[in-house]
Structure 1
Amino acid sequence: MHRIASQTIKYVVLPIFSLIFLSFTAFPCRAENFMFKYQTGNAYRILSTVEEEVFINGKKSFDSVIVNRISVKEKEAFPDGSADIEARFMTSENSSRVGEAPHYVWGEEYESFFNRGKFGHYTIGEDAFMPVVRDVPIFPGKDVRVGDTWTASGEEAHDLRVNFNLQKPFKVPFTASYTYKGVENTGGKKLHVISVKYNLFFESPVPAGNTKNLPLTTMGYSDQTLYWDNERGFLDHYHERFRIVIETTSGTKLEFKGAARAEVSGLENLKEGNALERVQNQIREMGIENATAHADEKGITISVENIQFEAESAVLTESELLKLRKIGEILKDFPDYDLLISGHTALAGTPAGRQRLSEERAWAVADYLAELGIKKHEQLFTKGFGAEVPIAPNTTEAGKARNRRVEITILDK
């Protein structure tokens, strides 16, 4: 049921913010008309973290920490206040065992295209699995004062292809209740606090004669607090508590409960400036051997070939630790960008062994970058490729040395 856990996550696809401490400040109470303000070409990244407990038939199965990285671009803003938006969603879960450093493994990626109106309404295809939560927030399109309330319909769309073989999004409708709570001051910014609550109760239609295990009843709640920057027309940050219970036709009861929070930051396209040239110059000036940099679809990738670990292990040698310390100095120039650490092996041993070794070596590099304070663990994603993506023939020792590599991608998408 691991797959289901990763899909009960809340996504709010909205513009730029950074999460900082709040202090309450009184502002004059006046009417506000809340709305989104889109801009053609505006791009940003949302990083949300979900901590949840998973229960099966009332018995706790496991705890899960899930990081969702969403890169968003407002492709075109229209005169009616709406915008066409493209978004790429990547969901990762902490794969580490108790006592280990957290390892956020680069997970499945989704691409989604939709239109969103100035008051928050989505127009989205029936086959789109992301975002999970649609039409939150919805604004009333009129002036509201502190204490005013309104309601609006929305839906959650879950990806249940793996566990239930449902090939289209599983949609659960709800009616959300909104309350305008007032204003808080965040680092000198005036933010409007809006409470959003909704309950879930949905009985799924089951085909006559069904013999498959399908969702029968979905229940739960969401309790969110939004911090809205109305001057700029975007969500500054939010936090949430939630509980979802799915009862299936086989009698199984699945429960997910926990809390979510999100941060948003603006990202420049690194390939449009001189960032790549700067990184290449630093590698050369620092004398970092067997390291190169190139641009690709995800950002700028630093490739460290012939990376040295202790024999058949993921323990970095001292020479490689020194190399990573130098690379860490380069990465400090990109404080707002997440990193993808990819591990690769030469063609030796079994496929399963190569895969596991490539994953462990990616983890080793990520752990060391976190130890150096370059990034927090939730900004470091890892992925192992085994020997599936060679850059040289595995028929020579020189080629094998090149294929034994770790790639560090500075993500701008």
Structure 2
Amino acid sequence: MKKIVTFILFSVINFSIFSQNSESKILQFKYHQNDNYQFNSVVEEEVKMNGRLLNHATIVNRSTISVSKVDENGRGYEKANFMTSEIFNGYPTWSENFESEYWRSRDGKFEIADSYIMPVVRDVPIFSEKPVKIGDTWTADGYEAEDMRKLFGIPNPVKVPFTATYTYLRDEERISSDSKHEKRNLQVIQVNYSINYENPQAANSYTETLDSIMGFSNKTIWWDNEKGQIDHFDENFRIIITSLRGNVLMFTGTSKSEVTEFKRTASEAVVQQVQSKVDQLGIKDVSVKKSENGLTLSLEKIQFEPNSSNLLESEQAKLDKIAEILSGFPNDLLIEGHTARSGSEESCQILSEERANSVADYLVGKGTRKKNQIFTTGKGSRIPIMSNDTPEGMARNRRVEITILDK
């Protein structure tokens, strides 16, 4: 009798799993006007030239995307800003931004002008128009848009086509990567593709230029079909670029990416809201303004130990209150260090970078942000707000600016 009951229970469990695995669903992107979201990728990359190691770098790729409109076919028109930055002294440094805009369909296809360098990988993922279930496999064409301006002076991105293979592996209950950290039912999709591209213009060139690109990418995507958006993904990749003269560059690495949301902050209403909070908390020598990159809190007369990046206790108490304000925004932060002019500009530059990192360390220690959500830069003494001829002017020039990034 016990064996019969066990057999029945085993059969019921198996039937339940089989039924769950057999449930078909349509996977597709969903766009909503005025939605804002952000991709952050941390890449560990090794670069070799002609077999010799050139560099091992930790890179942060940051993409902020806004959906400006949605058409009758469910396509979203997205305006995006992309930045690639290496991590130095524990934080990614602020660097050049690239803007882009494009239509993207519900199945994931891009419609984008040839002039845009970013994003690099396009038409991934692409979903089948038919319902799929766990275990299903499909293929779809995509391409990489390789930026060859610095290497070979090619003005527009080189389009490298591939055919990707997709497999719907399983469903998983996971905590979402956004600031809500909710338990979500995610679909796990494996994506693999190889590239093998030869430059058709190379044979007619008399100067050094791109000859070929080879490589592969293996991605695992955790897809949130209820939201119609990627939650996060992992990747390992290798790209080999060969020049006409036989030089070989090889890029090998891994990437971990997650999607989070962000708020638009650069408005007069938000500036007034944050300034009121600063006044309410009694934070002295702090002003709030709109800036090129978002909403900036300028901490003037910030006190460090003499010729040092060590914060005084009084400034730590000030940063505790600043952290309370920053907790109301999920956005990444840019921290800029500024010094008064004392000594050489080179020494001012180094000190400004160290002080920006010191403030970043304190905010990370408070749990205000993770390290890959803070970008730092030093401006030395090059951007004074007052003359350095008076003690008051020098005190005000010695400042740290924290920007809640709006793009």
* TM-score normalised according to structure 1 size: 0.85
2:103 to 115, 124, 128: 115
Structure having the larger proportion of residues in helix: 2
Amino acid in the other structure paired with 1:253: V
> What are the ranges of 5 or more consecutive residues in structure 1 without an aligned counterpart?
1-23, 97-101
The aligned counterpart of 1:356 is 350
CA distance in 2, matches of 1:312, 1:162: 39
Give the one of 156, 165, 173 matched to 1:185: 173
Aligned partners of 1:126, 1:341: CA distance in 2, in Å? 34
- The residue matched to 1:306 in structure 2 has which SS? coil
SS in 1 for 2:55: strand
CA contact (8 A) 1:26 1:184 kept: no
**1:309-360 superposed Cα distances (whole Å, 9 cap, x missing partner):** 33333333343333323323333333x2221101123345444443333222
Specify every segment of 5 or more residues in structure 2 that has no aligned partner in the other structure, as ranges. Answer: 1-16, 176-182
Aligned residue type for 2:262: L
Deviations 1:196-233 (CA, angstroms, capped at 9, x unpaired) = 11001112231535233x33221111011122222332
Structure 1 pair 290/45, CA: closer, same or farther in 2 (3 Å)?
same
RMSD in angstroms over aligned alpha carbons?
2.5
Output aligned runs, 1:12-411, within 5 Å. Answer: 27-96=20-89, 102-187=90-175, 188-204=183-199, 205-206=201-202, 208-212=204-208, 214-271=209-266, 275-334=270-329, 336-411=330-405
Q: Contact conserved, 1:26 with 1:183, CA < 8 A, in 2?
A: no
Decide whether the 8 Å contact of 2:305 with 2:312 is kept in 1.
yes
Q: Which amino acid aligns with 1:104?
A: P
CA distance in 1, matches of 2:143, 2:402: 37
Instruction: Read off the aligned partner of 1:236 and give its amino acid letter.
Output: D
Q: C-alpha distance in 2, partners of 1:353/1:163?
A: 33
The number of aligned residues is 383
Q: State the TM-score, normalizing by the size of structure 2.
A: 0.86
Partner secondary structure for residue 270 of structure 1:
coil
* Structure 1 CA distance for aligned equivalents of residues 341 and 147 of structure 2: 35
- Whole-angstrom distance in 2 between the partners of 1:344 and 1:162: 31
| Bigger Rg, which one | 2
Structure number with higher relative contact order (C-alpha < 8 Å, ≥ 6 residues apart): 1
Percent identity, aligned pairs only? 43
Deviations 1:245-297, CA, capped at 9 Å, x for gaps: 12223433222222112111222323569654453234334433322222334
